[in-house]
């Protein structure tokens, strides 16, 4: 895929003031070689929309409800996200799977509701450290991927993104090794090919301790169509450096 996708996940960080400074740096970027997206906390979506409209940067959310609306205190629906012109939403991030006990059924519902509103879901997949030690990495990742591929009929390959994020690499400061990344991306690509002949249109991102130093090598790997960046996306200069590394 020609243009890489570089996605920043701010997680639960930011304030109106600090966001304004970040948005300013991002909105001033021109001629970026990659497609760049920032995923901000819900409460800052209006600020993201106001600050980034007309710029080269897109925005989105970090989660979405598995319900379309109603008595679900604290939840935010896909319809609400589309009110703020969200382009992308994370679905099944490991912090949601682990800390909020989200299972594949919930994740499939979120994925479908996002698609219904033309918001591109970024499906996060990844094994934990213990699953890796037990030699289950591929099985775990494939079961998370299959949950979506096998549940949703008429899924368009270009309508979603997959992100391989080994849980042990997230926030650790140590990205997975290049060989490990390439191997898992090949497994994911092969499964996608088996599923749909047009699946070259599905982007596969890597996430987990991506920084300006390692971004170029990761982005140059086969089957790596972009990166999902957590902590390094909070420093706009670092994030821009990663976006320009592709």
CB 186 within 8 A of CB 141: no
Asked whether position 171 contacts ligand PGA by CB under 6 A, the answer is yes
Residue 95 CB, nearest distance to ligand PGA (Å)? 7
The span from the first CA to the last CA of the chain, in angstroms, equals 12
Active site residue: 93, 95, 102, 185, which one?
93
Give exposure, 150-163, as e/b (b: 16+ Cβ within 10 Å): eeeeebebebbbbb
Give exposure, 66-86, as e/b (b: 16+ Cβ within 10 Å): beeeeeeeeebbbebbbebeb
Asked whether position 210 contacts ligand PGA by CB under 6 A, the answer is yes
Q: By C-beta, is 14 or 230 nearer to ligand PGA?
A: 230
Sole binder of ligand PGA in the list 228, 240, 242, 245 (CB under 6 A): 228
Whole-number Å distance between alpha carbons of 55 and 228:
20
Asked whether position 209 contacts ligand PGA by CB under 6 A, the answer is yes
Site for ligand PGA in 7-66 (CB under 6 A): 9
Is 165 catalytic? The answer is yes
Q: Tell me which stretch binds ligand PGA (CB under 6 A): 42-50, 113-121, 143-151, 202-210.
A: 202-210
Which residues contact residue 12 at a Cβ distance below 8 angstroms, ignoring those fewer than 6 apart? 41
Sole binder of ligand PGA in the list 208, 218, 223, 239 (CB under 6 A): 208
Is 127 catalytic? The answer is no
Residues that are catalytic: 93, 165
- Positions touching ligand PGA (CB under 6 A) are 9, 165, 170-171, 207-210, 228-232
């Amino acid at each position: 895929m020609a243009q890489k996708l570089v996605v920043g996940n701010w997680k639960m960080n930011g304030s109106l003031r600090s966001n304004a400074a970040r948005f300013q740096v991002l909105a001033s970027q021109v001629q970026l070689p990659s497609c760049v997206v920032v995923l901000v906390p819900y409460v800052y979506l209006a600020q993201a929309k106001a600050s980034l409209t007309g710029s080269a940067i897109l925005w989105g959310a970090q989660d979405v409800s598995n319900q379309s609306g109603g008595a679900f205190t604290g939840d935010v629906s896909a319809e609400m996200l589309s009110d703020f012109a969200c382009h992308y939403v994370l679905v099944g991030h490991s912090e949601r799977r682990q800390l909020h006990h989200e299972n594949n059924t919930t994740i499939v519902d979120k994925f479908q509701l996002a698609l219904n509103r033309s918001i591109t879901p970024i499906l996060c997949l990844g094994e934990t450290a213990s699953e890796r030690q037990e030699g289950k990495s591929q099985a775990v990742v494939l079961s998370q991927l299959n949950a979506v591929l096998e549940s949703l009929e008429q899924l368009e390959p270009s309508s979603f993104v997959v992100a391989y994020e080994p849980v042990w690499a997230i926030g650790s400061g140590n990205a997975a090794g290049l060989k490990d990344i390439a191997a898992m991306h090949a497994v994911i690509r092969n499964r996608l090919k088996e599923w749909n002949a047009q699946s070259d249109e599905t982007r596969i991102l890597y996430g987990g301790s991506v920084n300006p130093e390692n971004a170029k090598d990761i982005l140059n790997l086969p089957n790596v169509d972009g990166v999902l960046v957590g902590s390094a996306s909070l420093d706009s200069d670092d994030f821009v450096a990663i976006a320009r590394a592709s």
